[in-house]
Amino acid sequence: MTAYTHLSPAEIEAFGRELDAIRDEVKASLGARDAAYIRRLIRIQRMLDLSGRALLFAGVLPPAWLAGTALLSVAKILENMEIGHNVMHAQWDWMRDPKIHSSTWEWDTACPAAQWKHSHNYMHHTYTNVVGMDRDVGYGILRMSPKQRWRVWNLGQPVYNAWLAILFQYGVALHDVEFDRVVQGKKTWREAWTQLKAIARKTSRQTLKDYVLFPVLAGPFFAYVFAGNLTANLVRNLWAYAIIFCGHFPAGAHTFEPEAVANETRGHWYLRQLLGSCNIRGGKLFHILSGNLSHQIEHHLFPDLPSNRYAEIAPRVQALCAKYGLPYNSASFTRQFGTTLWRVLRLSLPGGQSLEPAPA
């Protein structure tokens, strides 16, 4: 890895050992307080979901429709971000609760859990921001690094980006199918078809639940429930897109060539996770609604540690970065999202090398 060459190999490994020590310390301290947190959050999410859907049945009254849609939106965000994402990261497997376990959890979104765990837990977290290996760098449709070859169809990526945000759960669902590799002959159509059938089954269930079953149960208020569910899913999609993109592509975020992971040591892996991740400043509620992915740096350093611990870990990680002369990319949502959108726009055109931080 060429970034931050002021560190010797020995210093990089020492940096890694200090991060390992933080991880081991937190792992050893997990207990009743943490278990109570996730169980309480699941109860709150389910109450919000039930209350939102109940209010939508009275959606002919504008205040009831607005309140129901808001509660359902928050419920879907919590289930997707702070619960589903983190449970499937095995953050809560230490509890040995079969109902809150990465092997059994199926979340309320279009992507089947098994496919997401491969594309996200393995591919993305192993090869974070490595062009050509981490498919989250552009989701196969956007040029998000100057290391990616520019093609004329990239001119339309501001439009593609908008549609990806609106339909984000479906973009995530199709992520692991890898249509480009199928076209290139690197993956068989049989493999892709097997995945597509699983996505179709999951998407059908989600569609029937939100756009047929609950609206039909509302009888004459079908349209109000349908519109509320559609709006809640849209809000969840836009929020998830914004948080995830702000975690990897604001100004100062690094992307890497495949050579960066050749013979990569534990210390170098930690360094790449740090350089390819960005935090978003905010209050406690903001962090919970983001799935604590507002602490994206800590999440990428310690993806299997419970998310409720990231806030207490963050100052220690920041101090460690200062000790080794490393950047700690943390800024407001406005700054991170604004510079992310600028990256989308700038890289729709050729060039863009100035977006990448120079090696230090």
Residue 360 has pLDDT above 80, yes or no: no
Residue type, 115: Q
Q: What's the mean pLDDT in 329-342?
A: 98
**According to the model, what pLDDT value does residue 251 have?**
96
Q: What's the mean pLDDT in 83-104?
A: 97
Residue 1 has pLDDT above 60, yes or no: no
**According to the model, what pLDDT value does residue 320 have?**
97
* 235-277: pLDDT as tens digits: 999 999 999 999 999 999 999 999 989 989 999 999 999 999 9
Residue 357 has pLDDT above 80, yes or no: yes
Question: 89-93, 201-205, 285-289, 356-360: which range is least confident on average?
Answer: 356-360
Burial of 256 (0-12, 13-18, 19+ CB in 10 A): buried
Residue 283 has pLDDT above 70, yes or no: yes
**According to the model, what pLDDT value does residue 34 have?**
98
Q: How far apart are CA 3 and CA 77, in angstroms?
A: 35
Residue type, 181: R
Question: How confident is residue 339, by pLDDT bands cut at 50, 70 and 90?
Answer: very high
Going by C-alpha positions, the residue among 165, 111, 113 that lies closest to residue 141 is: 165
Q: What's the mean pLDDT in 284-289?
A: 98
How is residue 251 written in tokens?
Answer: 């100004």
Residue 2 has pLDDT above 70, yes or no: no
Say which residues have a Cβ less than 8 Å from residue 87's Cβ, sequence separation at least 6: 38, 100, 101, 102, 105
pTM, entire model: 0.95
Q: Say what percent of the chain tops pLDDT 90.
A: 89
Q: Could you please report the per-residue DSSP string of 321-346? A: HHHHT----EE-HHHHHHHHHHHHHH
* 111-166: pLDDT as tens digits: 999 999 999 999 999 999 999 999 899 888 999 999 999 999 999 999 999 999 99
* 171-226: pLDDT as tens digits: 999 988 888 888 888 888 899 899 999 999 999 999 999 999 999 999 999 999 99
